[in-house]
Amino acid sequence: MFKILKREMLTPNICKMVVSAPRIAKSALPGQFLIVLAGEKGERIPLTISDYDREVGTVTIVTQLIGASSAAIIAKEEGEFFRDVVGPLGNPSAFVNMSDEELKGQRYMFIAGGLGTAPVYPQAKWLHDRGVAVDVIIGARTKDLLIYTEELGSACDNLYLCTDDGSVGFHGVGTACLEDLVSKGKEYTQAVAIGPMIMMKFATLTCKKLSIPIDVSLNMLMVDGTGMCGACRVTVAGKTKFACVDGPEFNGYDVDFDEAMRRLGQYKAEEAEEKAKYVK
């Protein structure tokens, strides 16, 4: 049993939880994910690790209300327990395996959107703590939907906020902000985009135009988290890969985003139906 130590609603539909899991925290690395089981008969839900504290023995997860299973997770209160939490799973971010010499001189740009902002935090922090130059763009429709601004503000050199409606920061999407920054002389050796699939597709197209390598996280495709269900199949560089066991991060240039978006939408009707039953 895994105790929920802290619970906070970041927006009306996004919940942050700090969970006691000492063995997982000891091994966790940026980019990896967990499988969370709310109750004995619940569904296995893959959630990217949004933070971890080895000394205290905790991991942080951020969940967005999508269907019945995510609703069951969010419904848990502080002091209650998850039936099971498994991890860390998946491959860590590519930079984790880079040497100090390889990291020297790197300049990273993270492009975060929506729920994807939370898993950007441990990545940016890991690099920033090692002296790597890190900038972050967080995008949302309006200022009330921006999350993790304080955390990421302390884990990067420059934080840029973008809103579609111009309510705060740059008026426009994150890719337009990136182009604006580059036009003003900013240079980056690597980009990472985590957020809605359509955002990552256009972030990749923009980075390709700007000749910036980019990695993307396909965590939202995962269902079972072990490669057995096949729901997270995606074509990468012309080959079939599974987001959960081969990723969740891939070279954005190689991802067939159109196929991935079709796959992502295949359960939307069922998710909406079950959510309506669960959420009163």
pTM for the predicted model, two decimal places: 0.89
| Domain boundary assignment for the chain | 2-89, 94-214, 218-272
Contacts of 75 (CB under 8 A, 6+ apart): 38
Does the domain made of 2-89 have the CATH classification 2.40.30.10? yes
pLDDT in tens, 147-174: 999 999 999 999 999 999 999 999 999 9
pLDDT in tens, 234-247: 999 999 999 888 98
pLDDT in tens, 35-54: 999 888 778 889 999 999 99
- Looking at residue 269, its pLDDT comes to 55
> Measured between alpha carbons, how far is 97 from 74 in angstroms, rounded to an integer?
34
CATH architecture of residue range(s) 94-214? 3-Layer(aba) Sandwich (3.40)
pLDDT band at 252 (very low <50, low <70, confident <90, very high): very high
Q: Residue 233 carries which side chain, given as an amino acid letter?
A: R
Q: How far apart are the first and last CA of the chain?
A: 27
Same fold, 2-89 and 94-214: no
- Provide mean pLDDT across the span 218-232: 80
pLDDT in tens, 168-218: 999 999 999 999 999 999 999 999 999 999 999 999 999 999 999 999 999
Cα-flanking dihedrals φ and ψ of residue 165, to 5°?
-95, 0
- Looking at residue 225, its pLDDT comes to 76
- Looking at residue 280, its pLDDT comes to 54
- Looking at residue 275, its pLDDT comes to 52
pLDDT in tens, 254-275: 999 999 888 876 555 555 555 5
Answer yes or no: is pLDDT of 278 > 90.
no
